[in-house]
Structure 1
């Protein structure tokens, strides 16, 4: 199942969640109405009041919890006790975590998420939270950092990235919100019972009502656990399969699962309340439910899906071995020599052999080659630049330095724009970096470097981010023309940073069909075709028609190079992002056909393709194919 099919399934799961929630609410309302009828006799006015009161409690509870989660991934991680991982950490296990996450993020074509550690949890577990990749946060337990070697940690993180890519996070965070409303009845009953209704003249009636609320709340708990289990189990199997495909081997993920099954702490979290609420989004079973309530397949079943010959007796031997000497992840790294094997980058003017179905299959579904290319990109990037990308003081000059023009005349107009908005120190810092560390940067490393800088950027206050985005716009447009790279970088920064500021407002699945956005498709394909053949109108027209044939084969929309050039794309994003998932697949194939009508695509065109996919929430890995 590819990315677009998974997105479509996630949208169906969202609908299914609404239906299950509605059924749960109906069950709770009926239970309370029956209890009231038994205690007070049939009274339609009273029953109408209790029905409305119950609906109000559930609705307000869900709205309250959803409002408390509106901040997205960071909010969820902090609420569950996560400690942010410092950008400049010297802790070896935290540095290893950050390196693994950055490599997987680059391989998948997504912004680097925020990182958190659950320091008080000795079990092996993790979760990804957020509404979209732009506001995602990944949290791992201290037990995972201490017990897992690098390959195993990669397997766990790749599993969580599958949830980031496939829309599971969005579903999971909404699930937390709506289920809280179902549990409100029980919470109110327990609170009343704790405070004690006997001190009131109507104490017996109040205590009776509290007991009814607790019993009915148990029904709500039953429904909540059933909903979480029904939504989660299949997605966990899919995430395991995706992680294996992502990291090129089964040993890492299987090893992490074996340690969960073989160590005393397993995956169970010590904070029962947090584990219960987040059980559907954890890597491993953090609560201990089984049967109908199990949010994850049995641990042995998950291991055997990766290693069919593995048996329960082998797990028992591991338990006995680790009871005497618990494993140390960092020590295993040293013994196994897990220090990475970077590949090489294509030539700056290289081309890629691609086909439209091949590119659409890569969206949100990176393969071994993509991970290998990410290794190459990260390892070939100077350590000094990666350090600057993680520095709060240096990140603004670094990103702006990427946008400075090589032409001294144009650069002379860009620097005053930076000075006017962010000060002379930032402008001079950007200039120094542009002339220094950024000179030798490979074109394929520019967007990944910005991705590494993204977590630091998104933590700045909203007013600073607004000023920064205004500066980026001024720098890009100050000479009256916008290059392909300038547009790609500026647009991705605009989209991803604004989504991180208001994550919940950008979390939705589209429903529009290709036929409703014909003109937007024509504009998009015309820009791509013109960018690929700027001096050859005939070749550009052939490229345009090749793309149009993929998405609107029965339409006759004439080729017209946009007068505004690449800036014409600004008008098409909202409509195209509202396409249903499978229509986006056709769009990606159409854009690829236009960019590669001669069967090949340049590094610059691949960056435009990645930008289009990124803006439309179809993350594309950096390496499309072996360079030619």
Structure 2
């Protein structure tokens, strides 16, 4: 199952979820109406009964709906960080010296680069001794990953990588948004229960109906919550199996994930989360918040079933033996790392996946790579990170240092243009900031071209930590610097577009053009614009560009189901790459299947001349990011020899 099929599955599951919860609400309304009918009086006039039942229905639906909407909006407004902080999560500093936190950040950054997703905010639940983790957020741009202190203490690096890969699968597969919908819908039913309890306390004489209505609301809310939790548990169990399988697909080994699951099964702390709000996010966790205690409302499959799915020969007796073994001497993740020589991964300890700055492009392989974090992608991510000097990585994690780095990436070599650019920096932030950009530019000297965008993406999360006015000033300065020489090249566009979109999504929890759906036929003009920009940017010869465009159009509309797109005529936009600004909304609004064909056409155009330059790689990466199709790093095309 590739990324696009998983996206279709999540959409189908979301639709099914809405229907199931609608049925739960209907059942709740029926119980409330039955109680109202009894209270009003079975023998009352028909118009009185109808009025009472109508009012009860409207009020009940409004209470559930508005409560669910309020909860969903409140969860969205703070992104994943809000969920992590609500459970007592402490942010992991970007420049931390703690070896456990440093290991966690290294693993997360490596997987983020390898999966083509933004680096999430990192949190540790310091008071939780069980082994657990979760990913939360409305989109990858505002995602947060939190792990318990028990995970850091007990898991070795491979096991931690397996757990983080599991959580990243939730990020990539769209499960986080589904989880927030679940939390919002359940909260609506919970509020009904709470209102009922309040009404039972109302006093006003023997004829006061409030207590009876309150009892009815308690019963209805309890029934609704019970059904809702059943639905939540069933959905969560299904997604956990998929996340386990995807994590193994990412890492291409089961040892780490199985090791983490076995430690949950064998340690007394298990995966228990003791925070009072754990039940609210139970379906989002790596392991059950209740540890080994399970029920028909369990949000996770039994541990033995999850382990057997990855390691079929495991027996319950094996887990019991681990419990006895670890009862007196629990495992230490750090000690296991040292024993395996993984205490601090270095450039020499990883398998390298080299590759040239240019490579041939295989459309099928690129499509298959989207949303799939395999070992080759992890190796390439490790290689990219190791090749970025440590002082640059440290600067990228610092809010002020990251700003200087991002701006220095577009600093011109031409003296007059550079002077104008630095004047713009000084105008927005002062002369000391301009000096910092000069120093950052000197630090970037000699950095290979293919490492500049990965470095920028490492810096984006730190830029997100600046205040909103500061973020706006950074974007304004970046635009001024890019415009200083009167031209906009592909690399500059990619950097500014990616930063703008990540800041926008983190701030507003939606894309710049969210909301409208487009069929492939309705997006035909936007598709033609995108492919024309690509053909023009990658081919100096107009004839070759036209042929590449025609090949891309044919790849997009190869099955003929989305209209006669193949009849489009090559016409490079006069605005160049800026023409894409009018196309993103329609392109991102297409279905997963249409996006799959679009990416095929994009790679066909780029690879028409049997090579993929660094600029084309960055443009491909940007396109996939704008389509919300995370693409792993391609220092070489998938399927190509190093």
TM-score with structure 2 length normalisation? 0.93
Match of 2:59 in 1: 53
Is 1:569 the equivalent of 2:573? no
Deviation at 1:506, TM superposition (A): 6.3
In structure 1, C-alpha distance between the alignment counterparts of 2:462 and 2:135, rounded to whole Å: 18
Match of 1:141 in 2: 148
Q: 1:343 to 1:351 in 2, by over 3 A?
A: farther
- Asked if the contact 1:364/1:618 (under 8 Å) is kept, the reply is yes
In structure 2, C-alpha distance between the alignment counterparts of 1:401 and 1:270, rounded to whole Å: 46
- Asked if the contact 2:80/2:143 (under 8 Å) is kept, the reply is yes
In structure 2, C-alpha distance between the alignment counterparts of 1:509 and 1:369, rounded to whole Å: 35
Deviation at 1:351, TM superposition (A): 2.1
Is 1:529 the equivalent of 2:532? no
SS of the residue 1:116 aligns to: strand
In structure 2, C-alpha distance between the alignment counterparts of 1:465 and 1:29, rounded to whole Å: 47
Match of 2:552 in 1: 547
Q: 1:411 to 1:346 in 2, by over 3 A?
A: farther
Is 1:482 the equivalent of 2:485? no
Is 1:84 the equivalent of 2:91? yes
Match of 1:432 in 2: 439
In structure 2, C-alpha distance between the alignment counterparts of 1:423 and 1:552, rounded to whole Å: 52
In structure 1, C-alpha distance between the alignment counterparts of 2:304 and 2:448, rounded to whole Å: 45
Match of 2:465 in 1: 459
Q: 1:146 to 1:204 in 2, by over 3 A?
A: farther
Match of 1:582 in 2: 593
Q: Which residue, out of 607, 611, 615, partners 1:604?
A: 615
- Asked if the contact 2:91/2:122 (under 8 Å) is kept, the reply is yes
In structure 1, C-alpha distance between the alignment counterparts of 2:425 and 2:351, rounded to whole Å: 37
Match of 1:410 in 2: 417
Deviation at 1:515, TM superposition (A): 1.2
Q: 1:153 to 1:510 in 2, by over 3 A?
A: farther
- Asked if the contact 1:509/1:581 (under 8 Å) is kept, the reply is no
Match of 1:538 in 2: 543
In structure 2, C-alpha distance between the alignment counterparts of 1:52 and 1:506, rounded to whole Å: 35
Deviations 1:399-423 (A, max 9, x none): 1111112333322221112221122
In structure 1, C-alpha distance between the alignment counterparts of 2:513 and 2:257, rounded to whole Å: 29
Q: Which residue, out of 293, 300, 315, partners 1:311?
A: 315
Q: 1:345 to 1:318 in 2, by over 3 A?
A: closer
Q: Which residue, out of 220, 223, 231, partners 2:227?
A: 223
Match of 1:468 in 2: 474
Deviation at 1:291, TM superposition (A): 5.2
Q: 1:357 to 1:456 in 2, by over 3 A?
A: same
CA RMSD in angstroms, aligned pairs only? 1.9
In structure 2, C-alpha distance between the alignment counterparts of 1:31 and 1:185, rounded to whole Å: 12
Deviation at 1:36, TM superposition (A): 2.3
- Asked if the contact 2:39/2:212 (under 8 Å) is kept, the reply is no
Q: 1:476 to 1:229 in 2, by over 3 A?
A: same
Provide structure 2 residue ranges, at least 5 long, that are not aligned to the other structure: 43-48, 559-563
Deviation at 1:125, TM superposition (A): 0.9
Deviation at 1:134, TM superposition (A): 0.6
Deviation at 1:559, TM superposition (A): 1.0
Residues 162-561 of structure 1 mapped to structure 2, 5 A cutoff: 162-193=169-200, 196-197=201-202, 200-202=204-206, 205-272=209-276, 274-287=277-290, 290=294, 292-338=296-342, 339-340=344-345, 341-344=349-352, 346=354, 350-435=357-442, 437-504=443-510, 511-533=517-539, 535-553=540-558, 554=564, 555-561=566-572
106-115 vs 500-509, which moves further: 500-509
- Asked if the contact 2:520/2:594 (under 8 Å) is kept, the reply is yes
SS of the residue 1:145 aligns to: helix
In structure 2, C-alpha distance between the alignment counterparts of 1:178 and 1:408, rounded to whole Å: 59
Match of 1:4 in 2: 4
Deviation at 1:543, TM superposition (A): 1.1
Count of residue correspondences:
621
Is 1:13 the equivalent of 2:13? yes
Deviation at 1:224, TM superposition (A): 1.6
SS of the residue 1:425 aligns to: helix
In structure 1, C-alpha distance between the alignment counterparts of 2:386 and 2:241, rounded to whole Å: 31
Deviation at 1:89, TM superposition (A): 1.5
Deviation at 1:206, TM superposition (A): 3.9
- Asked if the contact 1:342/1:379 (under 8 Å) is kept, the reply is no
- Asked if the contact 1:514/1:551 (under 8 Å) is kept, the reply is no
Deviation at 1:150, TM superposition (A): 0.8
Provide structure 1 residue ranges, at least 5 long, that are not aligned to the other structure: none
Q: 1:568 to 1:627 in 2, by over 3 A?
A: farther
SS of the residue 1:140 aligns to: strand
In structure 2, C-alpha distance between the alignment counterparts of 1:600 and 1:241, rounded to whole Å: 34
Deviation at 1:318, TM superposition (A): 0.4
Match of 1:35 in 2: 35
Is 1:44 the equivalent of 2:55? no
Deviation at 1:58, TM superposition (A): 0.8
Deviations 1:121-164 (A, max 9, x none): 11111111111111111111111111111111100110010011
In structure 1, C-alpha distance between the alignment counterparts of 2:575 and 2:39, rounded to whole Å: 73
Deviation at 1:597, TM superposition (A): 1.1
Q: 1:505 to 1:48 in 2, by over 3 A?
A: farther
SS of the residue 1:249 aligns to: coil
SS of the residue 1:218 aligns to: helix
Deviation at 1:45, TM superposition (A): 2.3
Deviation at 1:204, TM superposition (A): 7.5
- Asked if the contact 2:514/2:585 (under 8 Å) is kept, the reply is no
In structure 2, C-alpha distance between the alignment counterparts of 1:211 and 1:171, rounded to whole Å: 32
Deviations 1:546-591 (A, max 9, x none): 1111113443111112222222212211111111111111111100
